[in-house]
Amino acid sequence: TNPSLLILPGDGIGPEVMAEVRKIIGWYGDKRGLNFDVSEGLVGGCSYDAHGTPLTDETMEKAQEVDAVLLGAVGGPKYDDLDFSVKPERGLLRLRKEMDLYANLRPAQCFDALADFSSLKKDVVAGLDIMIVRELTSGIYFGEPRGIFEEGNERVGINTQRYTESEIERVARSAFELARKRNNKVCSMEKANVMESGILWRAVVSEVHEKEYPDVELSHMYADAGAMQLCRWPKQFDVIVTDNLFGDLLSDAAAMLTGSLGMLPSASLGAPMANGRPKALYEPVHGSAPDIAGQGKANPIACILSFAMALRYSFDEGTEADRLEAAVEKVLADGVRTADLLGEEGVNPVSTSEMGDAIVAALEAS
Protein backbone atom coordinates (compact mmCIF):
# COMPACT_ATOMS: atom_id res chain seq x y z
CA THR A 1 0.00 0.00 0.00
CA ASN A 2 1.06 3.57 -0.65
CA PRO A 3 2.04 5.86 2.21
CA SER A 4 -0.87 8.08 3.23
CA LEU A 5 -0.85 11.85 3.38
CA LEU A 6 -3.60 14.16 4.67
CA ILE A 7 -3.46 17.62 3.11
CA LEU A 8 -5.05 20.50 5.02
CA PRO A 9 -4.55 23.67 2.94
CA GLY A 10 -6.34 25.96 5.42
CA ASP A 11 -6.86 29.69 4.86
CA GLY A 12 -5.35 32.67 3.04
CA ILE A 13 -2.28 31.72 1.03
CA GLY A 14 -2.50 28.14 2.43
CA PRO A 15 -4.46 26.77 -0.57
CA GLU A 16 -2.28 28.77 -3.00
CA VAL A 17 1.02 27.31 -1.79
CA MET A 18 -0.52 23.84 -1.37
CA ALA A 19 -1.56 23.81 -5.03
CA GLU A 20 2.16 23.95 -5.90
CA VAL A 21 2.94 21.04 -3.55
CA ARG A 22 0.23 19.08 -5.35
CA LYS A 23 2.07 19.62 -8.66
CA ILE A 24 5.19 18.17 -7.06
CA ILE A 25 3.32 15.20 -5.60
CA GLY A 26 1.87 14.63 -9.07
CA TRP A 27 5.34 14.71 -10.59
CA TYR A 28 6.63 12.11 -8.11
CA GLY A 29 3.72 9.83 -9.00
CA ASP A 30 4.09 10.24 -12.77
CA LYS A 31 7.85 10.29 -13.09
CA ARG A 32 9.28 8.44 -10.11
CA GLY A 33 6.50 5.94 -9.45
CA LEU A 34 6.28 7.33 -5.94
CA ASN A 35 2.56 7.39 -5.18
CA PHE A 36 0.80 8.66 -2.10
CA ASP A 37 -2.67 7.94 -0.88
CA VAL A 38 -3.65 11.62 -0.62
CA SER A 39 -6.77 12.84 1.15
CA GLU A 40 -7.78 16.43 1.76
CA GLY A 41 -9.62 18.17 4.58
CA LEU A 42 -10.49 21.52 6.10
CA VAL A 43 -8.81 23.25 9.02
CA GLY A 44 -9.11 26.76 10.43
CA GLY A 45 -11.48 29.44 9.21
CA CYS A 46 -12.60 27.48 6.14
CA SER A 47 -13.66 24.60 8.40
CA TYR A 48 -15.50 27.03 10.66
CA ASP A 49 -17.33 28.43 7.62
CA ALA A 50 -18.35 24.95 6.48
CA HIS A 51 -18.95 23.16 9.80
CA GLY A 52 -18.97 25.75 12.61
CA THR A 53 -15.74 24.35 14.06
CA PRO A 54 -12.07 24.88 13.10
CA LEU A 55 -11.51 21.10 13.02
CA THR A 56 -14.16 18.38 12.80
CA ASP A 57 -13.87 15.09 14.71
CA GLU A 58 -13.80 13.33 11.37
CA THR A 59 -10.73 15.27 10.18
CA MET A 60 -9.08 14.79 13.58
CA GLU A 61 -9.57 11.02 13.28
CA LYS A 62 -8.17 11.03 9.77
CA ALA A 63 -5.09 12.91 11.00
CA GLN A 64 -4.50 10.19 13.60
CA GLU A 65 -4.62 7.46 10.96
CA VAL A 66 -2.39 8.78 8.18
CA ASP A 67 1.39 8.52 7.89
CA ALA A 68 1.76 12.31 7.72
CA VAL A 69 -0.30 15.51 7.74
CA LEU A 70 0.72 18.50 5.59
CA LEU A 71 -0.87 21.80 6.60
CA GLY A 72 -0.83 25.19 4.82
CA ALA A 73 -1.81 27.96 7.23
CA VAL A 74 -4.83 29.07 9.21
CA GLY A 75 -6.43 32.37 10.19
CA GLY A 76 -7.27 35.74 8.76
CA PRO A 77 -8.96 39.03 9.64
CA LYS A 78 -12.37 37.60 8.79
CA TYR A 79 -12.11 35.38 11.87
CA ASP A 80 -10.50 37.79 14.33
CA ASP A 81 -13.72 38.46 16.25
CA LEU A 82 -14.76 34.82 16.64
CA ASP A 83 -15.11 33.32 20.09
CA PHE A 84 -11.78 31.89 21.34
CA SER A 85 -13.14 28.33 21.33
CA VAL A 86 -13.71 28.34 17.55
CA LYS A 87 -10.84 30.53 16.39
CA PRO A 88 -8.89 29.08 13.40
CA GLU A 89 -5.71 28.47 15.43
CA ARG A 90 -7.72 26.23 17.77
CA GLY A 91 -7.86 23.74 14.90
CA LEU A 92 -4.09 23.65 14.70
CA LEU A 93 -3.72 23.48 18.48
CA ARG A 94 -6.13 20.55 18.63
CA LEU A 95 -4.12 18.66 16.01
CA ARG A 96 -0.87 19.22 17.89
CA LYS A 97 -2.39 18.30 21.25
CA GLU A 98 -4.36 15.19 20.28
CA MET A 99 -1.54 13.83 18.13
CA ASP A 100 0.76 14.56 21.11
CA LEU A 101 3.45 16.13 18.94
CA TYR A 102 6.23 16.69 21.44
CA ALA A 103 9.17 17.27 19.11
CA ASN A 104 9.14 20.45 17.05
CA LEU A 105 11.62 20.43 14.18
CA ARG A 106 12.84 23.74 12.87
CA PRO A 107 15.52 23.50 10.19
CA ALA A 108 17.76 26.45 9.47
CA GLN A 109 18.81 25.91 5.91
CA CYS A 110 20.49 28.49 3.74
CA PHE A 111 20.55 28.06 0.00
CA ASP A 112 23.74 29.54 -1.46
CA ALA A 113 21.76 31.74 -3.84
CA LEU A 114 20.08 33.46 -0.90
CA ALA A 115 23.11 33.84 1.37
CA ASP A 116 23.11 37.60 0.75
CA PHE A 117 19.68 37.75 2.37
CA SER A 118 21.00 36.73 5.77
CA SER A 119 21.97 39.31 8.35
CA LEU A 120 25.21 37.40 8.84
CA LYS A 121 28.33 37.18 6.70
CA LYS A 122 27.88 35.12 3.58
CA ASP A 123 30.52 32.48 4.37
CA VAL A 124 28.98 31.95 7.82
CA VAL A 125 25.59 30.93 6.38
CA ALA A 126 26.10 29.76 2.77
CA GLY A 127 25.19 26.07 2.57
CA LEU A 128 24.03 25.98 6.20
CA ASP A 129 21.75 23.04 6.98
CA ILE A 130 21.01 22.42 10.66
CA MET A 131 17.98 21.17 12.56
CA ILE A 132 16.74 22.38 15.92
CA VAL A 133 14.56 19.92 17.83
CA ARG A 134 12.53 21.76 20.44
CA GLU A 135 10.56 19.91 23.13
CA LEU A 136 7.06 21.26 22.64
CA THR A 137 4.61 19.91 25.20
CA SER A 138 6.26 20.34 28.60
CA GLY A 139 8.73 22.53 30.47
CA ILE A 140 8.30 26.01 31.85
CA TYR A 141 5.31 26.94 29.65
CA PHE A 142 3.23 24.22 31.32
CA GLY A 143 4.83 23.39 34.71
CA GLU A 144 2.93 23.83 37.98
CA PRO A 145 2.84 25.81 40.18
CA ARG A 146 2.29 28.80 37.99
CA GLY A 147 0.46 32.06 38.51
CA ILE A 148 0.69 35.52 40.02
CA PHE A 149 0.40 35.31 43.81
CA GLU A 150 0.41 37.73 46.76
CA GLU A 151 3.50 37.34 48.90
CA GLY A 152 3.81 39.72 51.85
CA ASN A 153 2.72 43.04 50.43
CA GLU A 154 3.70 42.49 46.81
CA ARG A 155 2.86 40.20 43.88
CA VAL A 156 5.09 37.40 42.67
CA GLY A 157 4.93 35.81 39.22
CA ILE A 158 5.78 32.12 39.14
CA ASN A 159 6.50 29.58 36.43
CA THR A 160 7.98 26.17 37.00
CA GLN A 161 10.44 24.38 34.76
CA ARG A 162 9.53 20.73 35.13
CA TYR A 163 10.67 17.77 33.03
CA THR A 164 10.08 14.09 33.71
CA GLU A 165 12.59 11.50 32.67
CA SER A 166 10.20 10.03 30.08
CA GLU A 167 9.55 13.45 28.53
CA ILE A 168 13.28 13.96 28.06
CA GLU A 169 13.79 10.41 26.79
CA ARG A 170 11.21 10.61 24.05
CA VAL A 171 12.40 13.92 22.59
CA ALA A 172 16.00 12.70 22.81
CA ARG A 173 14.99 9.63 20.79
CA SER A 174 13.35 11.87 18.16
CA ALA A 175 16.61 13.82 17.86
CA PHE A 176 18.81 10.72 17.60
CA GLU A 177 16.49 9.15 15.00
CA LEU A 178 16.70 12.35 12.92
CA ALA A 179 20.47 12.43 13.28
CA ARG A 180 20.66 8.95 11.78
CA LYS A 181 18.81 10.28 8.72
CA ARG A 182 21.17 13.25 8.53
CA ASN A 183 24.81 13.50 9.62
CA ASN A 184 24.80 11.38 12.80
CA LYS A 185 25.56 14.26 15.14
CA VAL A 186 23.52 15.71 18.04
CA CYS A 187 24.28 18.62 20.35
CA SER A 188 22.06 18.82 23.45
CA MET A 189 21.60 22.25 25.04
CA GLU A 190 20.45 23.11 28.57
CA LYS A 191 21.75 25.02 31.57
CA ALA A 192 22.99 22.17 33.75
CA ASN A 193 25.26 24.67 35.48
CA VAL A 194 22.35 26.47 37.15
CA MET A 195 19.17 24.39 36.68
CA GLU A 196 18.10 21.06 38.23
CA SER A 197 16.03 20.27 35.15
CA GLY A 198 19.17 20.91 33.11
CA ILE A 199 21.16 18.40 35.19
CA LEU A 200 18.46 15.77 34.64
CA TRP A 201 18.21 16.67 30.94
CA ARG A 202 21.93 16.13 30.41
CA ALA A 203 21.93 12.85 32.34
CA VAL A 204 18.90 11.38 30.56
CA VAL A 205 20.06 12.40 27.07
CA SER A 206 23.42 10.75 27.84
CA GLU A 207 21.71 7.56 29.05
CA VAL A 208 19.50 7.28 25.95
CA HIS A 209 22.58 7.87 23.84
CA GLU A 210 24.67 5.22 25.55
CA LYS A 211 21.93 2.56 25.57
CA GLU A 212 20.24 3.10 22.20
CA TYR A 213 22.27 5.39 19.92
CA PRO A 214 25.99 4.89 20.62
CA ASP A 215 26.62 5.24 16.85
CA VAL A 216 25.52 8.90 16.93
CA GLU A 217 28.02 11.55 18.01
CA LEU A 218 26.68 13.43 21.07
CA SER A 219 27.91 16.66 22.63
CA HIS A 220 26.47 18.94 25.31
CA MET A 221 26.51 22.72 25.48
CA TYR A 222 25.08 25.32 27.83
CA ALA A 223 22.22 27.02 25.98
CA ASP A 224 23.65 30.54 26.33
CA ALA A 225 26.97 29.42 24.86
CA GLY A 226 24.95 27.62 22.20
CA ALA A 227 23.20 30.86 21.24
CA MET A 228 26.58 32.49 20.79
CA GLN A 229 27.96 29.60 18.75
CA LEU A 230 24.85 29.60 16.53
CA CYS A 231 25.67 33.16 15.48
CA ARG A 232 29.43 32.71 15.37
CA TRP A 233 29.73 29.48 13.35
CA PRO A 234 26.38 27.68 12.91
CA LYS A 235 27.82 25.08 10.52
CA GLN A 236 29.49 23.32 13.49
CA PHE A 237 26.03 21.90 14.35
CA ASP A 238 23.80 19.33 12.73
CA VAL A 239 20.92 18.37 15.06
CA ILE A 240 20.41 20.46 18.21
CA VAL A 241 18.02 19.12 20.85
CA THR A 242 16.75 21.39 23.59
CA ASP A 243 13.81 22.16 25.86
CA ASN A 244 10.70 24.19 25.14
CA LEU A 245 11.92 27.60 26.34
CA PHE A 246 15.48 27.48 25.00
CA GLY A 247 14.17 25.92 21.79
CA ASP A 248 11.71 28.75 21.31
CA LEU A 249 14.52 31.30 21.44
CA LEU A 250 17.19 29.32 19.60
CA SER A 251 14.90 28.31 16.72
CA ASP A 252 13.68 31.87 16.13
CA ALA A 253 17.27 33.13 16.14
CA ALA A 254 18.42 30.32 13.84
CA ALA A 255 15.54 31.02 11.43
CA MET A 256 16.87 34.51 10.91
CA LEU A 257 20.26 33.16 9.87
CA THR A 258 18.58 32.22 6.63
CA GLY A 259 16.33 35.03 5.45
CA SER A 260 12.72 35.02 4.32
CA LEU A 261 9.69 33.64 6.14
CA GLY A 262 8.54 32.32 2.77
CA MET A 263 11.43 29.80 2.82
CA LEU A 264 11.03 28.19 6.25
CA PRO A 265 9.52 24.72 6.71
CA SER A 266 8.82 22.94 10.00
CA ALA A 267 7.58 19.66 11.38
CA SER A 268 6.17 18.39 14.64
CA LEU A 269 6.68 14.74 15.52
CA GLY A 270 5.11 12.47 18.11
CA ALA A 271 5.45 8.88 19.23
CA PRO A 272 6.20 6.11 16.73
CA MET A 273 3.05 4.47 15.33
CA ALA A 274 2.54 0.72 14.80
CA ASN A 275 4.42 0.94 11.47
CA GLY A 276 7.40 2.56 13.20
CA ARG A 277 6.82 5.98 11.64
CA PRO A 278 6.41 8.90 14.04
CA LYS A 279 3.11 10.75 14.10
CA ALA A 280 3.87 13.83 12.07
CA LEU A 281 2.53 17.23 11.06
CA TYR A 282 4.47 19.24 8.48
CA GLU A 283 3.80 22.94 7.90
CA PRO A 284 5.49 26.13 6.77
CA VAL A 285 6.49 28.49 9.59
CA HIS A 286 4.59 31.39 8.01
CA GLY A 287 0.89 32.18 8.51
CA SER A 288 -1.96 32.83 6.10
CA ALA A 289 -0.52 36.19 4.91
CA PRO A 290 -3.87 37.96 4.35
CA ASP A 291 -2.01 40.99 2.96
CA ILE A 292 -1.02 39.05 -0.18
CA ALA A 293 -3.66 36.28 -0.26
CA GLY A 294 -5.46 35.75 -3.56
CA GLN A 295 -2.89 37.69 -5.56
CA GLY A 296 -0.60 34.89 -6.70
CA LYS A 297 2.33 36.50 -4.84
CA ALA A 298 2.97 33.90 -2.14
CA ASN A 299 6.25 32.01 -2.10
CA PRO A 300 5.39 28.28 -2.13
CA ILE A 301 8.93 27.15 -1.17
CA ALA A 302 8.30 26.92 2.62
CA CYS A 303 5.41 24.54 1.99
CA ILE A 304 7.35 22.61 -0.68
CA LEU A 305 10.31 22.20 1.71
CA SER A 306 7.84 21.01 4.38
CA PHE A 307 6.87 18.26 1.96
CA ALA A 308 10.59 17.51 1.43
CA MET A 309 10.86 17.03 5.21
CA ALA A 310 7.91 14.61 5.05
CA LEU A 311 9.73 12.67 2.31
CA ARG A 312 12.84 12.40 4.47
CA TYR A 313 11.43 11.91 7.97
CA SER A 314 8.08 10.14 7.44
CA PHE A 315 8.49 8.27 4.18
CA ASP A 316 12.18 7.24 4.29
CA GLU A 317 12.72 8.86 0.89
CA GLY A 318 15.87 10.78 1.75
CA THR A 319 17.21 10.60 -1.80
CA GLU A 320 13.98 12.07 -3.18
CA ALA A 321 14.03 14.77 -0.47
CA ASP A 322 17.58 15.64 -1.59
CA ARG A 323 16.34 15.77 -5.19
CA LEU A 324 13.54 18.18 -4.30
CA GLU A 325 15.82 20.44 -2.26
CA ALA A 326 18.34 20.44 -5.08
CA ALA A 327 15.56 21.49 -7.49
CA VAL A 328 14.71 24.42 -5.21
CA GLU A 329 18.40 25.35 -5.03
CA LYS A 330 18.68 25.19 -8.82
CA VAL A 331 15.68 27.45 -9.38
CA LEU A 332 17.03 30.00 -6.90
CA ALA A 333 20.47 29.85 -8.48
CA ASP A 334 18.81 30.58 -11.84
CA GLY A 335 17.49 33.80 -10.32
CA VAL A 336 13.82 32.81 -10.16
CA ARG A 337 12.33 34.86 -7.31
CA THR A 338 8.92 35.46 -5.83
CA ALA A 339 8.43 39.05 -4.59
CA ASP A 340 9.43 38.27 -0.98
CA LEU A 341 12.90 37.20 -2.19
CA LEU A 342 13.54 40.43 -4.06
CA GLY A 343 13.50 43.10 -1.37
CA GLU A 344 12.23 46.63 -1.81
CA GLU A 345 13.37 47.45 -5.34
CA GLY A 346 12.72 43.94 -6.70
CA VAL A 347 11.90 43.64 -10.38
CA ASN A 348 10.25 40.83 -12.33
CA PRO A 349 8.98 38.62 -9.53
CA VAL A 350 7.43 35.33 -10.58
CA SER A 351 4.01 34.23 -9.37
CA THR A 352 3.30 31.42 -6.92
CA SER A 353 2.34 29.15 -9.77
CA GLU A 354 5.37 30.07 -11.90
CA MET A 355 7.65 29.23 -8.97
CA GLY A 356 5.95 25.83 -8.63
CA ASP A 357 6.31 25.20 -12.37
CA ALA A 358 10.00 26.16 -12.28
CA ILE A 359 10.62 23.68 -9.46
CA VAL A 360 8.81 20.91 -11.35
CA ALA A 361 10.91 21.74 -14.43
CA ALA A 362 14.08 21.52 -12.34
CA LEU A 363 12.92 18.14 -10.98
CA GLU A 364 12.31 17.05 -14.54
CA ALA A 365 15.87 18.02 -15.48
CA SER A 366 17.39 16.30 -12.43
The DSSP secondary-structure symbol of 192 reads T
Among 109, 118, 299, 314, binds ligand NAI (CB under 6 A): 299
Q: Which of the residues 67, 238, 248, 340 is marked catalytic?
A: 248
Told to check if 286 binds ligand NAI by CB under 6 A, we report yes
d(CA 29, CA 5): 13
262 is known to lie in a ligand binding site: no
**SS3 category, 113:** helix
Return the closest-CA partner of residue 103 out of 165, 163, 167, 171.
171
Whether 279 contacts 269, CB under 8 Å? yes
CA dist 328 and 321 (Å) reads 11
Q: Which of ligand NAI, Mg ion, none is residue 3 near (CB under 5 to 8 Å by kind)?
A: none
Contact 356, 342 (CB under 8 A): no
Q: Tell the burial category of 116 from Cβ atoms under 10 Å away from its Cβ (0-12, 13-18, 19+).
A: exposed
Binding flag, residue 292, ligand NAI (CB under 6 A)? yes
Is residue 336 at the binding interface for ligand NAI, with CB under 6 A as the rule? no
- Verify whether residue 141 is a known catalytic residue: yes
Select 143 or 290, whichever has its Cβ closest to ligand NAI: 290
Q: Choose the catalytic residue: 49, 116, 123, 252.
A: 252
- In our burial notation (b when 16+ CB lie closer than 10 A, e otherwise), range 246-278 reads bbbebbebbbebbbbebbbbbbbbbeeeeeebb
* Nearest residue (CB) to Mg ion, 104 versus 299: 104
Of 73-81, 98-106, 114-122, 163-171, the segment contacting ligand NAI by CB under 6 A is 73-81
37 is catalytic: no
Which of 63, 68, 73, 304 touches ligand NAI (CB under 6 A)? Answer: 73
Nearer to ligand NAI, 93 or 200 (CB): 93
Alpha-carbon torsion (3, 45, 77, 89), positive or negative: negative
Residue 299 CA to residue 241 CA, distance in Å, equals: 29
Amino acid occupying residue 171? V
What minimum distance in Å lies between the beta carbon of 251 and Mg ion? 7
Of the residues 248, 317, 325, 340, which one makes contact with Mg ion according to CB under 5 A: 248
Rounded to whole angstroms, the Cα distance separating 59 from 225 reads: 43
Comparing CA positions, the residue from 229, 228, 209 lying closest to residue 219 is 209
Interface with ligand NAI includes 91 (CB under 6 A)? Answer: no
293 is in an annotated binding site: yes
Question: Which residue of 9, 75, 226, 278 would you call a contact of ligand NAI, by CB under 6 A?
Answer: 75
The verdict on whether residue 90 carries a ligand-binding annotation is no
Q: Which of 23, 129, 141, 316 is catalytic?
A: 141
CA atoms of 316 and 325, how far apart (whole Å): 15
Scanning 95-103, 105-113, 174-182, 282-290 for contacts with ligand NAI by CB under 6 A, the matching segment is 282-290
Q: Is 248 a catalytic residue?
A: yes
Active site residue 191: yes
Is 134 annotated to bind a ligand? Reply is: yes
| Residue 31 bears catalytic tag | no
Q: Which of 333, 222, 48 is CA-nearest to residue 325?
A: 333
Verify cis geometry, omega within 30 degrees of 0, for the bond prior to 54: no
Question: Closest separation between CB of residue 345 and ligand NAI, Å?
Answer: 17
**Out of 30, 58, 291, 334, the residue judged to bind ligand NAI by CB under 6 A:** 291
Binding-site residue set for Mg(2+): 224, 248, 252
Interface positions with Mg ion (CB under 5 A): 248, 252
Binding-site residue set for substrate: 96, 106, 134, 224
Interface positions with ligand NAI (CB under 6 A): 13, 17, 73-76, 89, 92, 261-262, 283, 286-292, 298-299, 302, 340
Q: Which residues are catalytic?
A: 141, 191, 224, 248, 252
